[in-house]
């Protein structure tokens, strides 16, 4: 939508109740308030962001001179470079005449309803140049999240160069403020880091080009009153909704604030903005909670399920993925056997992974065939039709793996369209996985059509396909687009993700019911730019249960369990070679979207029986885990020998409690874990799931009040009571809590 159309939507300045003047703009969710000062002809400034304000609080803003508990004194809401701004800025441009300054003033503001949200737009204009910025806020009325972004345009005669273009800025009052954020690497994603904010600059960024959440995440939390606590304390959470390169900056200068900026990473991405073109920055989602880190997580999870995740309120199927079971060794008989096995254990879906395609260049390993999405008839003589037939025979659904944004130089696609890949002119391509992998140029509409066609051809030919695992296993390591003009090569990263989004939008428009997983060398695409088009993401290629406790703990800060694919895999583990008992592997996988990543024919009958029981019991707790509220109780990062969390229904009538022992020593002493999120006045019956002990727990079937469980917790035995030859150093428990009537 261009600026002129925005002007036509003007509904008047938002006026607050009582004696507040019309220059004050209020953006509200059920439990939070964001207040701005927007005087016509003046600067747009922040006044407050935090817990919901009363009318009395709002009336007294002038008494305290804008001092607020959350942010402190008034500060510019979208700082621009050039005049009276010697520190960090949100926006920096170069006009066609060479002038590098901006001086934005408020023109007007309006508000309007958008479904379950309220959109507020404050229109700014440079005092001299016909250069416009709309600062936008979308406040959800069924979730405590506010999205903030900008729309930039101009009517100058020649293009204006955008050198910096953050989505949003937030000043955070200095004090004992701590930052929680995620970092990692391949097979070690979602690691939690927590640190106090100190003077200087903290930068969190990504320059991968394709996948943006392996090494760092575009989401952070600020604990405002000391070291982060899970269920107490005031916390601001922020999540950038973008699939590409990003940069988060926190500048602690010589004033009273930590200055937080978030947006597209402008490095090597300066943007030449044409007259009347609208440049929209990705949204920064903000939430505030006085219930600690877990409270902020609960806000993000609810918002995600309702608004930012495909099919976010539909429980996910329990699946078996073929990758770690057979890798590239795909064949018709083997797939049928795996389908039969997962069906016999109560699973609902089988996904055939990499290795099923290629004609001239059959896919036998990772060095060929990407782009040639035709069935390898030597491996699958009955084709996908035969696989769908077998899935129907076993009464389960069928899914398939693709990597449509990529190609191998050893492929028919590359032979036909070498100009479709991202490659610098006059340079030999730098090649990726398998020594032959390249990235397709999604800026090119022909490439977009091809990628859409990969999915469209599969679904048109085989509409019974229920699930697609969409992978992306390479970074952009060549800077160069054969499609973009020579003077717009700096647009490459931005246009790649615009193209990616266009493809996703087309797929979702035609196939709204299809389940799609975002896999990108594991957890490379865990972000809210991708998730509106995907149902879930693969947390990590590392399926080791012990390491998964850490990765899934960190990932849960921003993403709900329904989006986190977590699979039971083999022992020894294929990544760490650690041998972990099946019970522990099951209990960890059951804390996310449960699946299996194993060759069932290598399992014993006893192991299959345990998995069958676990799958049955997971179906009982699936709505609680996938749609409930998370309460993290004891962090593995605290190194107290135990990790624990729980999910509780919104009605607080059911809950699932997880407990994992993280280390084992003789005469060790583990802390008692107190529960959280229950209703103090309700009574809950306790039942252990996935039990392997010869005798039940002492509290099995017993009834406790929510008040008792939250004040005292339950004493969990450190080890399992099993036959001597089955003893090991791992221990884990899953407890199902269900409300009972006081008369029972």
Give the per-residue pLDDT at 14: 32
Q: What is the pLDDT of residues 617-664, one digit of tens each?
A: 999 999 999 999 999 999 999 999 999 999 999 999 999 999 999 999
The rounded mean pLDDT for the chain is 94
**Residue 38: exposure state from Cβ atoms within 10 A (0-12, 13-18, ≥19):** buried
Give the per-residue pLDDT at 59: 81
Give the per-residue pLDDT at 60: 78
Domains located in the chain, CATH noted: 3-308 (2.70.98.60), 317-469+477-514 (3.20.20.70), 631-740 (2.60.40.1180)
Q: Tell whether the model's pLDDT for residue 260 goes beyond 50.
A: yes
Using CA atoms, how far residue 455 sits from 357, 362, 468, 504, in Å, is 14, 20, 9, 10
Q: If you count them, how many residues does the chain have?
A: 744
Both tokens of residue 554? 């960190």
Selection from 697, 708, 707 nearest residue 736 by Cα: 697
Selection from 283, 317, 323 nearest residue 303 by Cα: 283
Give the per-residue pLDDT at 514: 98
pTM of the model: 0.95
Both tokens of residue 178? 């701590």
Average pLDDT over residues 406-410: 98
Average pLDDT over residues 247-264: 96
Share of the chain above pLDDT 70, in %: 95
Q: What is the pLDDT of residues 707-735, one digit of tens each?
A: 999 999 999 999 999 999 999 999 999 99
Give the per-residue pLDDT at 75: 81
Q: Tell whether the model's pLDDT for residue 572 goes beyond 90.
A: yes
| H or E segment to which residue 125 belongs | strand 117-126
Give the per-residue pLDDT at 58: 85
Token match 């996703």: residue? Answer: 504
Selection from 122, 158, 104 nearest residue 37 by Cα: 122
Average pLDDT over residues 199-217: 97
Average pLDDT over residues 699-706: 98
Q: Tell whether the model's pLDDT for residue 215 goes beyond 90.
A: yes
Share of the chain above pLDDT 90, in %: 93
Both tokens of residue 197? 């904010």
Average pLDDT over residues 513-540: 98
DSSP 308: I
Q: What is the pLDDT of residues 729-739, one digit of tens each?
A: 999 999 999 99
Angstrom distance (rounded) from CA 436 to CA 422: 13
Q: What is the pLDDT of residues 61-112, one digit of tens each?
A: 655 444 443 444 458 999 999 998 888 999 999 999 999 999 999 999 999 9
Q: What is the pLDDT of residues 112-157, one digit of tens each?
A: 999 999 999 999 999 999 999 999 999 999 999 999 999 999 999 9
Q: Tell whether the model's pLDDT for residue 348 goes beyond 90.
A: yes
Q: Are 641 and 668 in contact (CB under 8 A)?
A: yes
Give the per-residue pLDDT at 742: 76
Which residues, 6 or more positions from 56, have their beta carbon under 8 angstroms from its beta carbon? none
Cα dihedral sign, 110-528-534-553: negative
Average pLDDT over residues 406-419: 98
| H or E segment to which residue 545 belongs | helix 545-555
Which residues, 6 or more positions from 580, have their beta carbon under 8 angstroms from its beta carbon? 544, 545, 546, 571, 573, 730
């Amino acid at each position: 939508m261009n600026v002129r159309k925005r002007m036509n939507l003007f509904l008047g300045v938002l006026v607050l109740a009582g004696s507040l003047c019309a220059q004050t703009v209020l953006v509200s969710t059920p439990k939070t308030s964001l207040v701005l000062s927007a005087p016509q002809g003046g600067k747009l400034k922040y006044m407050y962001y935090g817990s919901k304000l009363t009318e009395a609080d709002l009336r007294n803003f002038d008494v305290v001179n804008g001092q607020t508990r959350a942010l402190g004194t008034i500060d510019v809401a979208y700082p621009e470079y050039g005049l009276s701004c010697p520190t960090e800025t949100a926006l920096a441009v170069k006009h066609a005449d060479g002038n590098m300054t901006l001086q934005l003033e408020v023109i007007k503001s309006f508000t309007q309803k958008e479904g379950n949200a309220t959109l507020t737009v404050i229109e700014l204009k440079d005092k001299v140049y016909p250069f416009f910025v709309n600062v936008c806020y979308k406040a959800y009325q069924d979730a405590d999240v506010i999205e903030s972004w900008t729309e930039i345009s101009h009517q100058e005669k020649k293009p204006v160069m955008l050198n910096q273009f953050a989505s949003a800025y937030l000043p955070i009052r200095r004090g004992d403020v701590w930052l929680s954020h995620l970092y990692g690497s391949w097979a070690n994603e979602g690691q939690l880091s927590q640190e106090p904010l100190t003077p200087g600059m903290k930068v969190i960024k990504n320059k991968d080009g394709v996948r943006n959440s392996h090494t760092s995440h575009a989401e952070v939390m600020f604990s405002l009153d000391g070291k982060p606590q899970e269920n107490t304390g005031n916390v601001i959470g922020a999540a950038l909704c973008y699939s590409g390169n990003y940069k988060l900056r926190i500048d602690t200068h010589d004033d009273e604030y930590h200055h937080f900026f978030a947006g597209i990473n402008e490095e090597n991405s300066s943007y030449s903005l044409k007259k009347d073109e609208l440049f929209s920055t990705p949204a920064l989602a903000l939430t505030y909670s006085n219930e600690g880190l877990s409270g902020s997580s609960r806000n993000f999870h609810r918002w995600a399920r309702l608004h930012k995740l495909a099919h976010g309120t539909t429980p996910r199927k329990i699946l078996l993925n073929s990758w770690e079971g057979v890798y590239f060794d795909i064949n018709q008989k083997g797939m049928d056997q795996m389908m039969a096995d997962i069906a016999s254990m109560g699973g609902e879906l089988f996904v055939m992974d990499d290795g099923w395609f290629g004609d001239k260049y059959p896919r036998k390993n990772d060095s060929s065939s990407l782009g040639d999405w035709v069935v390898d008839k030597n491996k699958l003589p009955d084709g996908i039709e035969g696989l769908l037939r077998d899935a129907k025979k076993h009464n389960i659904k069928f899914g398939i793996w693709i990597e449509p944004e990529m190609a191998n130089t050893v492929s028919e696609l590359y032979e036909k369209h070498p100009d479709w890949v991202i490659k610098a002119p006059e340079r030999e391509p730098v090649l990726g996985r398998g020594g032959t992998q390249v990235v397709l140029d999604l800026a090119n509409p022909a490439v977009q059509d091809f990628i859409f066609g990969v999915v469209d051809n599969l679904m048109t030919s085989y509409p019974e396909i229920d699930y697609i695992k969409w992978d992306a296993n390479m970074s952009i390591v060549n800077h160069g687009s054969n499609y973009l003009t020579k003077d717009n090569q700096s647009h490459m990263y931005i246009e790649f993700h615009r193209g990616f989004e266009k493809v996703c939008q087309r797929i979702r428009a035609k196939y709204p019911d299809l389940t799609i997983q975002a896999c990108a060398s594991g957890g490379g695409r865990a972000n809210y730019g991708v998730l509106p088009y995907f149902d879930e993401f693969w947390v990590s290629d590392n399926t080791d249960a012990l390491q998964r406790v850490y990765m899934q703990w960190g990932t849960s800060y921003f993403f709900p369990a329904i989006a986190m694919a977590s699979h039971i895999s083999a022992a020894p583990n294929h990544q760490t070679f650690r041998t972990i008992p099946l019970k522990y592997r099951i209990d960890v996988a059951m804390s996310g979207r449960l699946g299996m990543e194993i060759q069932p024919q290598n399992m014993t009958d006893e192991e299959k029986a345990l998995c069958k029981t676990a799958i049955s019991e997971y179906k009982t707790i699936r709505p609680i885990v996938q749609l409930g509220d998370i309460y993290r109780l004891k962090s593995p990062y605290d190194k107290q020998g135990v990790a624990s969390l729980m999910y509780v229904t919104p009605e607080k009538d059911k809950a699932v409690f997880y407990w994992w022992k993280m280390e084992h020593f003789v005469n060790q002493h583990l802390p008692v874990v107190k529960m959280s999120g229950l209703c103090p006045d309700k009574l809950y019956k306790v039942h252990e799931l996935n039990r392997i002990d010869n005798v039940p727990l002492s509290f099995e079937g017993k009834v406790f009040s929510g008040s008792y469980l939250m004040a005292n917790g339950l004493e969990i035995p450190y080890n399992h009571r099993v036959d001597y030859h089955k003893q090991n150093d791992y221990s884990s428990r899953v407890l199902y809590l269900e409300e009972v009537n006081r008369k029972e």
